[in-house]
Chain A
């Protein structure tokens, strides 16, 4: 219910005149990047007990703040729920939305937004109790499936089971906690959301993780990535290339630890990326060491992944599709040159 007055307010915000100035100027002027994040998705964006935001999405905010303001701490994190997120950004609230948001045609083409780049390739899966002895999502005939509202999840569910000719009953909850509680109390025979979140739910929320399994099927493509408002191509380019620089850093083996050292290396491509050779920052309206600052703040994409969702995190997600293209994954950055 809380989203309602807020969404209504957003509606009123549409009345305010559109910003004439550039996002970059505004960010510099207020010396702060306003970043829309989730209300708490472990591994992507969640606040710890000290109020520090952690996760892959939060690190994207940090990297952009470092590139633009030379300080990864100058970020104001604004938690947004699934319903608010796009409306808030459209209405001029925040510079960037970095909140596990799926890139779809409808969102890209009709919401006044631009998706910048993909930071995580996800897919929708199912979590089921082991004792149901189900091994495939195709066996979920007549099952009740708990799902949280405000995502692409409900539509994928509708599409996939329609295509399979199977009837299921979604039970849609507004709050994550309620949906989880209902599933673990046995109200539903399955829980569905993005596979990355299922791993977390199984390991952290289940009374006994071993009593539950994640089914092998992924029923959708969920490319997640940061979003910016339309109408500011320069800012769009900064966020996009900020992410590409982190991916390219992994390709070249530049890490948080060795970035300073690499600045005085011999590889022209690395020197170019780190601003020791040509000034790529000038083209984006940034300083020449913009990429080096971002890498120094959060590490390369691989380090971000390991720390937040990979082997060094509670989620223990495999790289899978999110490995570099040269290692069988989909992470590929256009060249920074």
Chain B
């Protein structure tokens, strides 16, 4: 037993060393070739002023800020759309997944139709469709719809009061010369991306949830019903704890895909990490560096998500044992 373990560890260490060596070789050859061709390389551009503006940003950003800060603003924008979309898609997907198991024929049919339609159309197409529907239908910025005091809806997005601003505590959106000025705005790009990602991923989540619940042997629900549990009790005490074990790992995959799919933002003008990094790449010409940075950031995001999911899995396992 001991010997086998040591051997396995040895193989893993060798593999890791080989991988690192290959990576190092790749880097060394690339930078040597780039130097030979007179291509500047390095990450020094990150501290230089970015020089371009970002249309919407959670972090305060100006064109004189550094390229690194621009990328951080891009990352913040990615998370700003990915996190709410993860929550929304999980919630909606769970409801639809349950709907597919409903005894009601109409509900079951509708949910099945939703899943089949959304899942089988390319996401990029859906995003563009949402985006152009949103921008075509809404009124111009100069003729914004007033939904409530200081809440405006127009092609420029949904403007609403927000904390901060120049005046003091509350920043109120007001009608400007050609646009709504002030407040916080959810732009059409953000709304389309959020909608598109949530609705698309919800279809996959629904299938995951349905499969997870159906994976619990039938005998379990029959036994529970025979014991006199109500349907709600059956679901809460018997089905869910067992189903969660098979739902969480594939659900994590969906969350990972959603975060990565958020990079399609660039097609509809939302300044996410990839969009900002693309612009930086263009201004500085540092292609290898920018792409390496994007890959590193997505890798880190994915690893964090996977780690969180593993933690949740352990917890849900314990929960199942306790109940």
Contact = CB atoms under 8 A, between A and B. Distances in A.
A169 interface: yes
Given A7-B287, A182-B135, A185-B155, A170 B53 contact: yes
B271 interface: yes
Given A112-B39, A186-B140, A189-B141, 11 more contacts: A110-B284, A111-B40, A111-B285, A132-B142, A149-B279, A149-B282, A157-B53, A162-B62, A169-B55, A170-B52, A172-B55
Q: Which 10 A-B pairs have the closest CB atoms?
A: A158-B63, A110-B40, A112-B39, A112-B37, A154-B52, A112-B38, A169-B55, A158-B52, A111-B285, A174-B266
Interface string A1-15: 101100110110011
Contacts of A178: 128, 267-269
A142 B131 CA distance: 22
Contact of A158 (B29, B36, B53, B56): B53
Contacts of B63: 158-159, 162
Interface of A: 1, 3-4, 7-8, 10-11, 14-18, 82-83, 86-87, 90, 106-107, 109-112, 132, 134, 141-144, 146, 149-152, 154-155, 157-159, 161-162, 168-175, 178-179, 181-182, 185-187, 189, 229-231
A23 to B, nearest CB: 13
Interface residues of B, number: 58
Contact of B54 (A107, A170, A173): A170
Contacts, number: 160
B30 interface: yes
Interface string B256-284: 00000001101111010011001101111
Given A144-B156, A158-B52, A169-B53, A187 B188 contact: yes
A146 B140 CA distance: 15
Interface in B209-250: none
Contacts of B266: 1, 149, 172-174
B39 A90 contact: yes
Interface string B10-34: 0000000000000000100110011
Interface of B: 26, 29-30, 33-34, 36-40, 50-56, 62-64, 124, 128, 131-132, 135-136, 140-142, 155-156, 176-179, 181, 187-189, 263-264, 266-269, 271, 274-275, 278-279, 281-285, 287-288, 291
Given A1-B266, A142-B179, A155-B51, A174 B285 contact: no
Contacts of A15: 26, 29-30, 33
A17 B37 CA distance: 10
Given A8-B291, A174-B266, A185 B136 contact: yes
Contacts of B288: 11, 14
A29 B181 CA distance: 62
A14 B279 contact: no
**What is the interface of chain B mostly: helix, strand, loop, or mixed?**
helix
Nearest to A1: B264
Contacts of A17: 33
Contact of B37 (A90, A109, A175): A90
B135 A187 contact: yes
B46 to A, nearest CB: 15
A326 to B, nearest CB: 36
A141 B62 CA distance: 16
Contacts of B179: 142-144, 189
A89 to B, nearest CB: 10
B39 A185 contact: no
A168 B38 contact: no
Contacts of B142: 132
Nearest to B274: A4
Given A1-B263, A174-B266, A11 B52 contact: no
A42 B249 CA distance: 50
30 contacts: A1-B263, A4-B291, A7-B281, A7-B287, A11-B291, A14-B30, A15-B30, A17-B33, A83-B281, A106-B283, A112-B37, A112-B39, A144-B141, A144-B179, A149-B279, A149-B282, A150-B278, A161-B53, A162-B62, A169-B56, A170-B52, A171-B269, A172-B266, A174-B275, A174-B278, A175-B267, A182-B131, A185-B136, A187-B156, A189-B179
